[in-house]
Structure 1
Amino acid sequence: MTPDRAEPPLDGGDPGETEEDTEAAAAPRTPFGTDRLPLGRPGARGSVDVRTLTRVLFERLAELPPETPERVRVRAALIEINIPLVRYAATRFRSRSEPMEDIVQVGTIGLINAIDRFDPTRGVQFPTYALPTILGEIKRYFRDNVRTMHVPRRLQELWVQVSSAMEELTVTHGRAPKVPEIAANLRIPEEDVRACLDAGRAYNAASLEAAQEHEGGLALLDRLGYEDSALADVEHRDMVRHLLVQLPERERRIIMLRFFANLTQSQISTELGMSQMHVSRLLSRILARLRSGNSWEE
């Protein structure tokens, strides 16, 4: 027969520790005169379960006046014994890139807020009340601090509703819902849904120089458009072409030789068999007409 294996500690400690060692290490110091209270499973001899101890501490907390040293100690004990609840909530976010200890620290803030707001007289168990507060604090942390791109708070809050509606509609229809279906479900404009879907994906900024596997290894920078300086000349070229066709053939040929063939006035005069002075006067007159935009008339 093989010996029974010790149960792993709830707080992620050394697997070699026994359950008694884990309980002794996790047990909080208490304000009741003894250094520690042993925690264990309900019904175990000499032990008090976390729920019972939490209830007792809250009862004691309600009896103490504010700002007294004993009240501070009771509050600290409540925080310490409920840290496993924070760690349980933090495991829901283990797939995120943030370190787990950072998430636990943020969740602890939610635990402290829950302790300060909890009212034992309502008959609700503290873990039931505290877990949504802890999860809300962690989600708020991811919403406000983890994004590398700024998204308006209104869209961040709306994204929670849209994502919930998407899950519900996916189960209902057996497929991903369309934007009009989400908008009808939430009774909001379709434009808000589209903006919210874009905002919900804006957690991380992609590097322009990072290679994209699905694009054959090309970086985003290689596929981005750029401003072509020649585009500004397209309209001008079209206007010049429109004016050139209205010139007589000899004047049009002079313009072509001067500005497209890059010939000098001397070379044009030789080409056309006229004096250089005549070529100069024709060029001046032609350019004046072209600049004015008037049609050429014989």
Structure 2
Amino acid sequence: MSQTTDNRTYEHAEPLFTHLMLTDPHGPEHAALRDRIIEICLPLADHIARKYAGRGEAFDDLLQTARLGMVMAVDRYDVTTGSPFLGFAVPTIMGEVRRHFRDHIWPLHVPRREKELQGTVRMAAEELSRRLQRSPTAIELATELDVQVIDITRTLVAANAFQTRSLDTPARDNDGEPGMTVAETFGAEDPSYCLTEDTITVAPLLAQLPPEGRQLLIWRFYETLSQGEIAERLGVSQMSVSRKLTRLLGSLRAQTADEQPVPAP
């Protein structure tokens, strides 16, 4: 193998995959090059395994799982798509580690529906992450899987039920030293509680919106476009956009109280 490949790192592995694609899949050069790619990608798997350390699973198990995910990423990556290997490998490896937690740690009761949907949501999230080059929103996942947004929300919350911790466990201070117990840190109201509650309340109503209304909210509040920018996309006046948003938001506020169907904007 040429010396030029000796200094490759996983951040710039695409030329190696191009070379791999041109070799005989059953030949010794292909096998040697595949082994070389796996070797230079091991630090990526190790890094991701360390990210999940300290969550109730032995690090050796996490490392083995992450490396298995990395090998899967090497074998599945298609360099002809033009996407960087790193953008494909990270979700693949993290998906394998999360599946390990899902399959081995469920100390809290999680409804069967959320358990079954979690695997589907995970795979859809990985696919959308590759396609969008960012993490998908709950609405995008719901649209992709043709399920209610509230089901996606519950599934994502259930994904955090992998481990529990006693309230008597000492919490760590800023220097990493044991301090007060977890129970002793409680007492103050979380400032985000009301926001979370409002989000859960309005999620089913957002799912009922017609596509035009949902797109309007996505542009305004997820992509943070100005009313003028939205007006340009729609070919209408800014005042028209303002009226649509006012009617739509007013309708949503009303529905949180009387739970009547949300009319089209």
Give the TM-score, by structure 2 length. 0.43
- Pair member with larger Rg: 1
Q: Which has the higher contact order (CA 8 A, sep 6+)?
A: 2
Give the TM-score, by structure 1 length. 0.39
